[in-house]
Chain A
Amino acid sequence: MDGFGTDILNALILFANFVFVPALSYGSQLALGAVGVTLVYGVLRFANFAHGDVMAFGTMITIFVTWGLQSYGIGLGPLPTALLALPVAILGTIALVLFYDKTVFQFYRRNRSAPVIYLVASVGVMFITNGLVRLFIGPDDRRFADGERFIIKARAFKKMTGLSEGLSLQVTQVITVVVAIIAVAALFWFLNKTRTGKAMRAYSDNEDLALLSGINPDRVVMVTWILAGTLACIAGTLYGLDKSFKPFTYFHLLLPIFAAAIVGGIGQPVGAIIGGYVVAFSEVMATYAYKKFLKYLLPDDMAPSTLMQFLSTDYKFAISFIILVLVLLIRPTGIFRGRVY
């Protein structure tokens, strides 16, 4: 098989394999993280610096429970055991964030402190969480994905289609997307259909009006932390399954997550999800070398000699920052008009 049609197909498969699929799963992880940040922002009105480390804490519990289950020989067959451990980890993470709220943030809420005070307090919480995670599991890199690795292997795909480019699909990537869809659907059902969810949105929109309508602020705050903890734990576990777990990388995830929340309009859950994908796709697309891709599409004599890479992978996270700066310069409210001032 050859000819221009095949070339186009090959180029598309190449793009899907190295850009679309990885960006989709990374984007889902960022989206879940960013929704957590944005919910806390909407209700408690501060950027929670501890979110990345709370994600790491949740993932750590998942890993411990996974190890426990593995030692008893319990597993999910082709699926990673971590999925079975996830509910326990979610409960653990919720307990952690509620504990932090009671011991740290509640005091400043009662005192009606400025948002920046919460910010500094969240840095303290970040330290403590980071220290705890390293204390319990150590600073090393850990992989905890078990079960099957691939749904489609690149070689099998090539054989099946006869194309020279293969598309590989990892189990963790598919799980990430599926779990993210379920989590987001459940979240929006909760926010839009239940009484508590509506109360939360009302409180986020206008605190005073919500208080006048008899909404219990303590309850709203508690529910917000429960949701944020749940989402953080899921996002962290999915990221760890897909790549690997290292406490320090979770701190670095803060920047893309904040960028995603701001792009979407901070305080806006829908925006955060779109922002997550915007950041992930920009990051992967800007650091991908298009040489081979263009070779398929262009005539032979026009094939590029350089890598055709927009930015070296060393500057991956610079993308989040560039997006952030562009948004602040062009449209500080983000796509969905978040709260800025």
Chain B
Amino acid sequence: MAPQIHTDQNQRLRAVIAFGLLGLGLIAVGILQSWNSAFGVLNLCMISAVMALGLNVQWGYAGLFNAGVMAFAAIGGLTAVLVSHPPVVEAWQAGGTYLIGSLAALIATILLIRSVRPRLPEGRIRFWGTVLITITAYVIIRSLFREGAGLVEAVNPAKTGFLGGLGLPIITSWIIAGFVAGGLAWAIGKISLGLRSDYLAIATLGIAEIVIAVIKFEDWLARGVKNVTGLSRPVPYEIDLQESDSFIGWVRWWYQDTLSASDNSVKLLNELVISSSSIFVKLCYSGILLAALIILLTLANRAARSPWGRMMRAIRDNEHAASAMGKDVVYRHRQAFIVGSAIVGIGGAMLTTIDGQFTPSSYNPLRFTFIIWVMVIVGGSGNNLGSILGGAIIWFTWVQAEPAAQFVMQNIAGFLPEESALADHLSDIAPHMRLFTMGLVLLLVMRFAPRGILAERR
């Protein structure tokens, strides 16, 4: 037992050092750049950590390859819009009947196929009969649907042009997003789990493309690439804070030394109030995100230590043995896949919430799928805290690589006579270098430190 305890202490030390370094990094950003951007980075670190935690449930617990993390993040973001945006009544009046009609027609078709199929003789007739019904129904539904979508999109297209949402507080969308993303995962898992592991990878790669395409091109749903902006917030607005007397009084108290030392204290106070208000908003978000992250981490850790977690690891390590012991491997894989996707969906809703807007074109597979993979593998597959650490560290590096490079460039600029040409070239290739570096980090960690920063607890 002795070496085990030693490893555990070692792990704890590592976690403390890693989180400490991360904290120092954030403080450095706060001092060198601004506290505003430091808290901005911190918030995104926490959201990345949530997504990494979700992927860890799939990859770390169950060994499932999900190449469509982006789809679940995007669908979470979409849910945030559809839950929080007030409904657009005119749009519902204009095209709602058609859209509801096409939905009803879709359900009717499914029921029709289900009732007709068993009555047709097995074989060719059944197959072609189903195909015929499907195509006919598709043509009818599509024309109904196009009509309705056209009408909805024509309602005040510059501002709305979509159906709107439910008008509920945006925080509720975090929970709903989990269910929506989980539902999508259920459907994908139903089709592709139980076959070779590669099939899940390919199916998720495909669903990611399609989810993004639907969100981009179906304007009636969430305005497509025109973006939905100005979503409601769970925290106060900067402008309200700047006009609130108690906030100004609080800023005056916090900065009293600086203010009394200044010649033009009115102007300075004004500036301080503006900068403090945006920091205050970010801090509020940090608080909410931290609370959510702690809840998710606690639940994930409990799940991992429960008999369920032990069973998942047993299945992952040896499917055949677990199956021989009577475990339903496919069913359990589906569970892990759904739970993981739900957590990623929650992360997606969080992202849209703190952005205050939903921009479908910002979803790309490198940023929203493969980076999350790097986070989980670097952090330590199978270790929840490790995923959170990996998520935060990788995100921090990802966004701070550029300012850091610029900082270095500025400091050596004096020694370089032709710095502008060289600097231009370096800043041109920087984003591509980032991709290359991420790939390299992934491969190096997999090869030389497959357990990641924090190894899985045994």
Contact = CB atoms under 8 A, between A and B. Distances in A.
A and B interact: yes
Interface in A130-170: 130-132, 134-135, 139
Given A47-B201, A251-B365, A135 B432 contact: yes
A34 interface: no
Interface residues of A, number: 51
A107 B202 CA distance: 24
B207 A321 contact: yes
B197 interface: yes
B210 A123 contact: no
Contact of B447 (A107, A132, A134, A306): A107
Contact of B197 (A116, A123, A128, A321): A116
A255 B446 CA distance: 25
Interface in B125-164: 138, 143
Nearest to B445: A124
A211 interface: no
A104 B373 CA distance: 17
Contact of B198 (A119, A127, A134, A312): A119
A258 B205 contact: yes
A164 to B, nearest CB: 28
A332 B210 CA distance: 21
Contacts of B143: 306
A341 B432 contact: no
B370 interface: yes
Interface string B346-381: 000000000000000000011000100100010000
B351 to A, nearest CB: 22
Contacts of B216: 314
A88 to B, nearest CB: 24
Given A328-B203, A329-B191, A124 B439 contact: yes
A328 B207 CA distance: 14
B220 to A, nearest CB: 14
B377 A332 contact: no
Interface residues of B, number: 43
A127 B429 contact: no
A317 B213 contact: yes
Given A321-B210, A325-B191, A325-B203, A126 B65 contact: no
A114 B373 CA distance: 17
A318 interface: yes
Contact of B436 (A46, A127, A254): A127
Interface in B33-89: 63, 65, 67
A117 B443 CA distance: 11
B435 interface: yes
A112 to B, nearest CB: 14
A123 B213 contact: no
Interface of A: 41, 46-47, 49, 104, 107, 114-117, 119-121, 123-132, 134-135, 139, 251-252, 254-255, 258-259, 262, 266, 306, 310, 312, 314-315, 317-318, 320-321, 324-325, 328-329, 332, 339-341
Shortest beta-carbon contacts, A-B, top 3 = A127-B439, A131-B436, A321-B206
22 contacts: A119-B65, A120-B442, A123-B442, A124-B439, A124-B446, A125-B443, A127-B436, A127-B438, A128-B436, A128-B443, A129-B439, A131-B438, A132-B436, A251-B365, A252-B209, A255-B206, A306-B143, A310-B138, A315-B217, A317-B213, A321-B203, A328-B192
